[in-house]
Chain A
Amino acid sequence: MTGAGLVSRCAAALVDVALVAAASALAGIVLSGIRYTVDGPPFALPPLPGWALGVGHSVLVLIYLTASWTLTGRTPGQLVLGLRVVTAAARPPGPLRALVRALVCVVFPIGVLWLLVSRRTLAVHDVVARTVLVYDPPRW
């Protein structure tokens, strides 16, 4: 079973990042709006320290990826690009396997480049979680 290539994965990741960023920005604006309504001007985003922002987004992405793969076997970005995560049994991954894959994705994202040299086009998180990111069969 051969996995999807670099361009498809990056495009799907772009869509997912955009979604998460939009959700995060929306949450920040809503929180700022609430604070502005309660405390009054000036209007400013929540003054979070950099590490808190990074950890928070990492956790957010972890939850996002795990939930997506567990529930539907694909993230919204992978849905748009026609990709899905399957196990060796050609089924969506379980929660544990999805969590492992999401952890490796978040901690070691550069591992996706391994698919260039892998004979089965597998990224590092695919190898660790023993999953494959495959193309959907065409609709026509």
Chain B
Amino acid sequence: MGGNGTAGTGRPLVLRAAGRAGRVVAGAAGLALRAATDVPTRLGGHHRTPDGWDAPPAPPAPGGHDETAAVVRLAAARLGEAALGLAAVTSRRALDVAAAAALPVEAAATIAVRAGTAVAGRSRLAGRIDRLARVGRVEQRRNEREAALLLRSAWQRSVARAVAATDVDAVLDRIDLDAVVAKVDLDALVAQVDLDAVVARLDVDAVVGRVDLDALIARLDIPVLVEQVLDDVDLGRIVRESSTGMAAETVDAVRSRSAGADRAINGFVDRVVLRRPPRDGSVPAPSEPGRAPP
């Protein structure tokens, strides 16, 4: 059956579709015919034509009632196939004719459309057509949206049904999670996380409020802690330094007081008893109490 022109590329799309439809119809009719006539093709064993199709049945052997019936069936089958061949040839011819006729028809249609377009561009018809096209476009968008919504919801429902029907545990049991985790680059993942934002969303007070501080303190060994702190502080050194500081201040005070008393007595003796000018060093500088000038 190869070699006919119904599937040729030289014809218009419509004619090609028509040819294919005709071929399908013919094939279906052939199948029905073969089923009805029950041609004993298998009798021929594995005998096939060079192009792979079953070879036509061998001529029946003469003689017998059964042979008559077989001859009748074979004749009917041969007639049916001849009818199919006729139909095929007829359709090929018709398609050829239609293709020959379609060429001028197509040219005429093209001319008509172009002329109509030109005429519409001149008149107000173009505006109306544009408006109508806009309306149609908008309507079509809406239709598409609704269709998409419907499709999506249907898809979701079906997926949900499928998931509900799936034994997730069994699926999970079959998945090697360790291998999956090994493939994940956690560092890169963490680097993408904005930790500051996460922290900002944390309610620290609530977290602290949930902590049992008493239990925490009970677990701490406070005496040992205090001993360690005291060992580090070196209390003895602090006491030594402060006490020596106090002693030094006391001694300084005693020295300055006694030196002042010395000057007072010397001055009294010089001025009141001996009535002479004050001796050297009896009036030292106020900023240096008790220091004798050289």
Contact = CB atoms under 8 A, between A and B. Distances in A.
Interface of A: 1-8, 11, 80-82, 116-117, 119-121, 134-139
A135 B290 contact: yes
Nearest to A11: B258
A7 B256 CA distance: 11
B288 interface: yes
Interface of B: 248, 251-252, 254-255, 258-259, 261-263, 265-266, 269, 273-274, 279-282, 288-294
B258 A2 contact: no
Contact of B266 (A5, A11, A81): A5
B52 to A, nearest CB: 125
A80 B254 contact: yes
18 contacts: A1-B294, A2-B280, A2-B281, A2-B293, A4-B262, A5-B259, A7-B258, A7-B262, A8-B255, A8-B258, A8-B259, A80-B254, A82-B255, A121-B281, A135-B259, A135-B291, A138-B289, A138-B291
A1 B292 contact: yes
A81 B252 CA distance: 8
A110 B72 CA distance: 179
A117 B279 CA distance: 10
Nearest to B288: A138
Contacts of B288: 138
Nearest to A118: B279
A42 to B, nearest CB: 41
Contacts of A80: 251, 254
Contact of B265 (A5, A120, A134): A5
Contacts of B258: 5, 7-8, 11, 81
